Every structure is written in C-alpha cells, then in structure tokens.
Structure 1
C-alpha cells in the first residue's frame, strides 16, 4: 500500500462556494450547527458571500477549518487514513484535528480566537516574492531590522513579514520576477505578532491536547512528532514563527511518503511541493467528487 500524507492549506486558498456539496450532507449539518453555535454566524452563508467578506481573516480561517475538517472526515469515512499529516499555517489546526489531538469543537474555538486576534492586528505588512536571488534576499533580511522570512514555501517562492518600512526596503532592493503585497491586516508569522501570541497562549493553555494518532510535521519544526506537549509548544510558537514548508516538503520522501493528498480548496500546497519534490505523487481533494476520484485511483 502506498504510504500517503495528507496536507491542509491555509489562508489564501479560500474560494467562494467552497464546501457547498459537503454542507448538504446530513452528517455535516450537525457539524455546521455546532460551528454556528461557536462562531455566532453561518459558515455556509459566509462561503456563499462576496469574496471580500470570505477573504477577511475573521471569517476565512474558521471557514477553511470547517470545510477541511469535513473533507477529511469524508475521506476517513471511506476507510482511508494518512500515515502523516501537515498543514500550512491555519491548516496545521486541521492536521491536529485529523490526528485526534483535539476535538472539532476545541479546534474551532482555538481557530476562532486566532482569527480574531490576527484580524485585529494592525501593525506591519506581508509580501510574497517569486523568482528571486536567495542569497541576496537572505543577506538583505539580515541587514534590515524588523523584517523576517515568514513563509519559506519553496526555492522560488517565499513571503516576508515585518514593519511597512522594513518590507518596502527589502522589496526595493531585492530583485524578483514578481513581488506581491498581501492583503492581510498585519505582519503574520513575525515577532510583531508577539502580543497577540501571548494573548492566544492563554486560550491555548486551557485546551487539553492528546497524543497524535499519526505523526505531524509542524510549521515551526518540520520533524515528525506525536507527543501532546511538543505539539502544543510548536503551536504556541506558530503565530510568531516562520512557516517552514520547503523543509516539510523535503521531509516527506525522507519519511517514506510516496503520495501526498492536499485536502481543501485549491492546489496551492501541491504546487509548492511539486517544485521541491517532483517525484512525489500529488492529488487534490477539494469537494466530494474528488474524494471518489482519489479513492478510485489508489493502488
């Protein structure tokens, strides 16, 4: 049997209409009601709303969490289980849920508070760079205070985060094929999120973590772990730490993974992984129909 990893995308992968087919399932309606009780609003309604509303951090993160958890539940209902899980930023919460570290409701309560804190962040900015000189970027970040490498996605795509002045300085000096300022409220995955991270830790400390049923590669430490205390500590560090996705990708074949299934809207993560590990078999599950396709094509 092929050794398979499941990966879960984060903010930026959302699309209007995501989860429509899932939320019509009888078993999903109870989950949707549970989510509405926790959030105070309807995930189905937000997923159908205008793109600018769905793309607001306050709504994006809980919606992605709910939709991706439902997709993973449907995969497991078909008798499939991953050998390993990982998630990109917000997606790590789905990975922890799938590994049975915490319940759906506990995870959603964490995601809700995380989204609120990140949505209210007003300091700094983020920018993606595509096709750049790695040495030049590394040197410039080292020489520029108040900017960090927030997402190391692959060799040709990264995200920097920091104060507006610092990020602008790097963008003006480092040559890149493309540089895109991200439409986010603050400098996520940087030390500028320290105050929000401290507030979030108080919420996180109240949630009981169980040992993971499958190994998890965390954003801040891409080595496999199942220990509850280790996983919680890594999650505490995530809000201010870098997303080390390139290193997560490199770990997959080293750990015997042959197939990677991205569970969630879009194909962002499989696109990133393909550049780093072109020999892996990559599949996507963004709706109910694609679950059948993936299942039918497995050896």
Structure 2
C-alpha cells in the first residue's frame, strides 16, 4: 500500500509570482482576505511586487505560510490526504496546519510573530556549505564557541550559524566545494536566538494545539508524533535548535513512505529527497495546475 508524505519548504523557496494563479479559487480568496486582516498588508501584492522586499523575513514567512496553506486546502478539497507531514524550518508551521494542529488564523498569527522576532535579530551570521568534509566540520564546530550546524539539510549540504566572528574563523578552515554566506542578520536556529525564543514561547503558551490528524516529523526531533503538547514543545525548541532535515528524510522509508509531495514554491526539498531516498516517488505542488495533474 502506498503511503504519502506532504513536505513544506521554508524561507529561501519564495519567488515573485508565487500563488498568483490561486486567486481565482474561492478557497484562496477567503484566505487571502483573512490574511490581510491579520497582517495589515496584502500577500498577493507582496508576491507580485519587488523581489528584494519579498525576500525580507518579515514578509517571506507569512507569504509562504499563506500560499502553502491555500495549496493544502485545495488538495484536501480534491480528496487528497497525507499519511505523514513535515516542513523545513518555517515550513513546519504549514505542516502543522496540514495536520490540523491549529487553524489558519492561529498559524498565521504565530508565523507573523515569528517573522517579526527573527527580522529583528541581529549580531549573527549564517553560511551554507556544500560537498564538505563532515568529520572536519563537526570537529571545528565543537572547538569553536557560538557556532552550530543550523540546518543539516543532507549528507552534502549544511548551514552553519553563529556569531560573525565564529563563522569567519571557521569558514577559511572548511574543505568544501562551495560556501555561500546567507543574507540574514541573525544566527537563526542557534542558541543566539534564545531571547527571541523566550518571547515567542510566551505567545505559544497562550495558544491551544490539537492532536495532529496524521503524524508529524519535527525539525528538532524527526520521530513521528501526533501529540499536541509534544508538537508544541518541539516548536518552542525550533527557534534555537537545528533543523534536522537529513534525519527527517532518512525517517521516511522507515515510515513506509512511497511518495513525497512538496507543497509550496520551488523544488528544493524534493531535490534533497531524490538524492537521499532515490526509491521514493516525488511530486511538486506549487500551482493550481500541479494539483490538476
């Protein structure tokens, strides 16, 4: 029997024009209107506007959550349901929405606050490292204060995060095919986000979570659970904890997943799954036309 996982991309997958084709549907119209009341600005306008502005954390994260939520609801309306969900960083909020852990309004309010806190973060630096010596990198990180692997995306790709001094000290010592400094001001998914995480926890503590309708693989703990309190605890830890995406992908065959559908713009996550789990069938749903196929 085939089992399907829906996975949701995070910041970095945004693109000008995303979601515009959805606006003709009743589902999208309702959620776009609701989002504008919550955010105080139009997601559609941002998605059709300036690329630089859309790439600002403050706008990127809510826009992605709204587009991914709309795609999720349209899939459900057409009779599609997942057996398991997961999301990369911001995408975990979309995954929790898909699992009906919270409703659209609750999810977007959480994402709005998260985006604001992360947008205000300063004093950090992040860099992506491709095709590297993992043993050497892990050794360097152990011996360098204020530096962590923020995103363990695959066996060949990670993102390191920490103080500018720590990142700049380690980068020249890394043996890698490619290193790219990311355009962010904060050290996301590191202990340096502790102040923001504490502020965010106060918001999360006031929100009720439901048990998930399907198991969720969380960023900080890639073991499946449907328990509401466990999922909330993991979400609190996510802001300072590493995104363990490589382990999430390796868990998919253990859960007997035969197909993965990336719900949202781009094909970053399916690209990673293809190289990590070559036997899993892959599909991307980023537009209305993709759902109809």
Range of TM-score over shorter length? over 0.9
What is the distance in 2 between the residues matched to 1:156 and 1:142?
19
What is the distance in 2 between the residues matched to 1:27 and 1:95?
18
What is the distance in 2 between the residues matched to 1:74 and 1:108?
18
What is the distance in 2 between the residues matched to 1:185 and 1:64?
20
1:144-185 per-residue CA deviation (whole Å, 9 max, x = no partner) reads: 111000000000000000000101111110111000000112
Deviation of 1:138 after TM superposition, in Å, equals 0.6
Q: Which residue of structure 1 aligns with residue 185 of structure 2?
A: 185
Structure 2 unaligned regions, length at least 5: none
Deviation of 1:23 after TM superposition, in Å, equals 2.0
1:72-129 per-residue CA deviation (whole Å, 9 max, x = no partner) reads: 1111111010000000000000010110100000000000000000000012110000
Q: Which residue of structure 1 aligns with residue 260 of structure 2?
A: 260
What is the distance in 2 between the residues matched to 1:8 and 1:170?
31
Q: Which residue of structure 2 aligns with residue 176 of structure 1?
A: 176
Q: Which residue of structure 1 aligns with residue 280 of structure 2?
A: 280
Q: Which stretch shows the higher mean deviation, 77-86 or 271-280? A: 271-280
Q: Which residue of structure 2 aligns with residue 194 of structure 1?
A: 194
What is the distance in 2 between the residues matched to 1:126 and 1:27?
37
Q: Which residue of structure 2 aligns with residue 213 of structure 1?
A: 213
Q: Which residue of structure 1 aligns with residue 249 of structure 2?
A: 249
Structure 1 unaligned regions, length at least 5: 294-299
Q: Which stretch shows the higher mean deviation, 221-230 or 275-284? A: 275-284
1:177-218 per-residue CA deviation (whole Å, 9 max, x = no partner) reads: 000000112100000000000000001111100000000000
What is the distance in 1 between the residues matched to 2:160 and 2:22?
35
Q: Which residue of structure 2 aligns with residue 297 of structure 1?
A: none
Q: Which residue of structure 1 aligns with residue 148 of structure 2?
A: 148
Residue 67 (structure 2) pairs with residue 61 (structure 1): no
Mapped contact 2:27–2:73 kept (Cα < 8 A) = no
Residue 269 (structure 2) pairs with residue 269 (structure 1): yes
For residues 1-299 of structure 1, the aligned pairs below 5 Å read: 1-293=1-293
Deviation of 1:292 after TM superposition, in Å, equals 1.5
What is the distance in 1 between the residues matched to 2:273 and 2:145?
30
Deviation of 1:27 after TM superposition, in Å, equals 2.6
What is the distance in 1 between the residues matched to 2:289 and 2:208?
35
What is the distance in 2 between the residues matched to 1:184 and 1:69?
25
Q: Would you say how many aligned residue pairs link Structure 1 and Structure 2?
A: 293
Deviation of 1:40 after TM superposition, in Å, equals 0.4
Under a length normalisation based on structure 2, what TM-score does the superposition of the two structures give?
0.99
What is the distance in 2 between the residues matched to 1:27 and 1:12?
25
- Secondary structure of the 1:21 match is helix
Under a length normalisation based on structure 1, what TM-score does the superposition of the two structures give?
0.97
